[in-house]
Amino acid sequence: MTQIDTIAKLLLGAKHVAFLTGAGVSAESGIPTFRDALEGYWSKYDPEQLATPQAFAADPELVSRWYDERRQKVLACQPNAGHVALAELERLLTERGATFAILTQNVDGLHRRAGSKEVIEVHGSLLRWRSTTSQIEYDDLPVPFESYPVPAPDGGLLRPGVVWFGEALPDDALARVDEELARCDVFVSVGTSGLVYPAAGWSLLAKRAGAKTVEINRDPTPMSQSFDHCVLGQSGTVLPAIVEAIRRG
């Protein structure tokens, strides 16, 4: 039995399935991963330094411009074969009576655009911005913004609706994640470096709660040793292969 067949069999036998996704899943859509070297003007910056409340407080123009350029890029990209396969997996497995959830660290909205329904955005969204004073969120915003930083209607500034280092993940998302980790029989981590917490610890929590765990990544990660199964490969190839194996039954 191939590795793909083994994983398909695990998924077919599961009542509750949870996928954790990271930037690698969107790489084949042309969206750079978080830890890829930045290009052009941005190559002199470290994304970990830009993705903080301190960076926004110190230079809201710079940080707003970076996020708005990324927003424009994402809006011009399309879901890839990996996103489409995950939406198809959800359809196939829920038709058979299982639950299926994607816990995504990605802020690009591509899972929903590919048709996935149960998507928990644990690091927020690039497409929503919120006021620094009232916390009101806005998602129907002009592309691109006229200037940076962007004034909020209530007198504050608009900041991207993402979770920066040192900020708490949204309570509602964390509550959903806890529920999925406690009940899943199979937990699959795809395209994430396993460097950023709390998401990096979720495979271990799922395993401790009884799940079989699988990692799918182009490269080994610091967490690879702890998974029950590891598949080395691109998500846009491996995920469609799993869908095909599930269709064959």
Does position 217 interact with ligand BJW (CB under 6 A)? The reply is: yes
Does position 168 interact with ligand BJW (CB under 6 A)? The reply is: yes
Q: Which stretch binds ligand BJW (CB under 6 A): 16-24, 56-64, 90-98, 203-211?
A: 16-24
Under a CB-based contact definition with an 8 Å cutoff, are residues 52 and 45 in contact?
A: no
Closest distance between ligand BJW and the C-beta of residue 63, in Å? 9
Buried b (16+ CB within 10 A) or exposed e, 145-154: beebbbebee
Binder among 193, 203, 223, 246 for ligand BJW (CB under 6 A): 193
Binder among 74, 84, 162, 184 for ligand BJW (CB under 6 A): 162
Does position 172 interact with ligand BJW (CB under 6 A)? The reply is: no
Binder among 64, 105, 116, 125 for ligand BJW (CB under 6 A): 105
Query: Starting at the edge strand that comes first in sequence, how are the strands of the sheet with 157-162 ordered?
Result: 137-138, 124-131, 157-162, 150-151
Residue nearest to ligand BJW (CB): 24
- Helices 81-95, 3-12: inter-axial angle, 10-degree rounding: 40
Q: Which stretch binds ligand BJW (CB under 6 A): 12-20, 23-31, 144-152, 171-179?
A: 23-31
Does position 241 interact with ligand BJW (CB under 6 A)? The reply is: no
Binder among 125, 203, 213, 235 for ligand BJW (CB under 6 A): 235
Show contacts with ligand BJW in window 38-57 (CB under 6 A): 51
Show contacts with ligand BJW in window 110-129 (CB under 6 A): 123
Cα–Cα distance between 218 and 193 in angstroms, integer?
A: 10
Does position 188 interact with ligand BJW (CB under 6 A)? The reply is: no
Closest distance between ligand BJW and the C-beta of residue 133, in Å? 19
Does position 219 interact with ligand BJW (CB under 6 A)? The reply is: yes
Does position 240 interact with ligand BJW (CB under 6 A)? The reply is: no
Q: Which stretch binds ligand BJW (CB under 6 A): 113-121, 127-135, 140-148, 193-201?
A: 193-201
Footprint of ligand BJW (CB under 6 A): 22-24, 27-28, 33-35, 51, 105, 107, 123, 162-168, 191-193, 195-198, 217-219, 221, 234-236
